[in-house]
Chains A and B, each alone.
Chain A
Amino acid sequence: MPRILLSKAQPGQVLTRPVTTSAGVVMVQAGSPLTPALIERLTNFGVDTVVVGDDAAQAAGDARPMEERVREVEARFLGHDQDDWMMTLKQIVIAQLARD
């Protein structure tokens, strides 16, 4: 995924890395689509470059059906059903599968 000048970014492209301040605070999450308004806001913030891809490239990660991938996650958490922390972690993992 290329890092490009913000001035060359096009609406519809998707951020594949978060935009962060120099202190590392996330301003915009990865996965956010660029809109004209967002590009303007980032410009005003003094952001020079962003890392973008397109939707098709993003989807190329894991082509298996979602049910299969969720089952695989469930299997990994075998034995942790009574552990609230682990169950919350499992929900995080499954929620992030859906971002693909």
Chain B
Amino acid sequence: MRDRAVVRARVEGITKILTIPTIVGRITTMVSSGTVSAGEIADEIGKDQILAAKVLKLVNSGFYGFRQPISTITHAMVLLGNDVVKTLVLTSSVLDIVSAMNEHIKGLWEHSIGTARLAGTLAQKTEAKNPEEIALCGLLHDIGKVIIAQTFPEEHAEIRRTVSARNCLQIEAEQAVLGVTHPEVGMWLLKKWSLPASLVNPVAYHSNFHPRRDFADRTAIVHVADILCRAKGVGYAGDHRIPALNRDAWAMLRLDMDDIAEAMANLEDEIRSGLFA
């Protein structure tokens, strides 16, 4: 087991390792300042054609379920909001690094997309505000797993061996091997990136729900969406098990099992229509 402070320092130093392009830092600052218009931010993203293309690809991937294709960054920003676009920019940068990684992580990406779509559907069913942002929380919920794989390759190999030997959840193996878990690691990174608590908390607490924390409503959605995605066997979250349902989280959603069946059927349709294509 490692010293938590050492692990945290290495995670927080990851912005150096991940070599996020300077343009991402500039855009992040512009969005955070709150005084820059959507058009100006769109112009800045547009200066990097590859980045702009990646953001648009993500927006149009079926992930948000827009009926009409979105062809401009400005349009994406109007529809999704500045924070979502900022996170998409960050996410697309992380994905560059992820794409160079192994099959194990490819399954994690599909698990993340699946969880994101389910979270978006549940958000709509519960009439939560900002379903797009809640979907984004689903997309990011396991980003700590990516960071662990990238930053601690030896421990990650040990975590995978532990999962396979014990047939346990990855989070249990993380605790045993690293002494910290992926929700915490994800939280450290997102805080370092100055993302708002509305995006950080669902990532930080999706495996450790408490109804009295801030943004418990969306954390509950991500918690349930994660379980549904694993139950359906979409992607690979790093193990072959399903975490236990938190009853308080389920109660907070005020849904019934018919809603769940519909949400799962919806995901099936989306996959058939090329969600991962």
Point out residues on A near B: beta carbons under 8 Å.
1, 16-18, 24, 26, 29-30, 51, 53, 58, 61, 72-73, 75-80, 83, 85-86, 88-90, 92-93, 95-96, 99
Contacts and interface: CB of A to CB of B under 8 A. Distances in A.
A88 B257 CA distance: 8
Taking chain A's interface residues, is the majority helix, strand, or loop, or is none over half, making it mixed? mixed
A30 B269 contact: yes
B268 A96 contact: yes
Interface stretch (B23-31, B105-113, B238-246): B238-246
A87 to B, nearest CB: 11
Interface in B246-277: 250, 257, 260-262, 264-266, 268-269, 272-274
Given A29-B265, A85-B245, A17 B228 contact: no
Interface in B3-61: none
Contacts of A73: 231, 233
25 contacts: A1-B274, A17-B269, A24-B124, A30-B265, A30-B272, A51-B273, A58-B272, A61-B272, A73-B231, A73-B233, A76-B230, A76-B240, A80-B242, A86-B242, A89-B227, A89-B228, A89-B257, A92-B231, A92-B264, A93-B231, A93-B264, A95-B261, A96-B261, A96-B265, A99-B268
Given A30-B269, A89-B228, A78 B241 contact: yes
B269 A18 contact: yes
Taking chain B's interface residues, is the majority helix, strand, or loop, or is none over half, making it mixed? helix
Interface in B50-101: none
Contacts of B167: 78
Contacts of A29: 265
A88 B269 CA distance: 21
A17 B264 contact: no
Contacts of B232: 93, 96
Given A73-B233, A93-B231, A1 B241 contact: no
A89 B231 contact: yes
Contacts of B245: 83, 85-86
A4 to B, nearest CB: 13
A24 B273 CA distance: 17
Given A77-B231, A78-B241, A96-B261, 18 more contacts: A17-B269, A51-B273, A61-B272, A72-B233, A73-B231, A76-B241, A78-B167, A79-B241, A80-B242, A86-B242, A89-B228, A89-B231, A89-B257, A90-B231, A92-B257, A92-B264, A93-B264, A96-B268
A61 B275 CA distance: 14
Interface string B194-235: 000000000000000000000000000000000110111100
Contacts of B233: 72-73, 76, 93
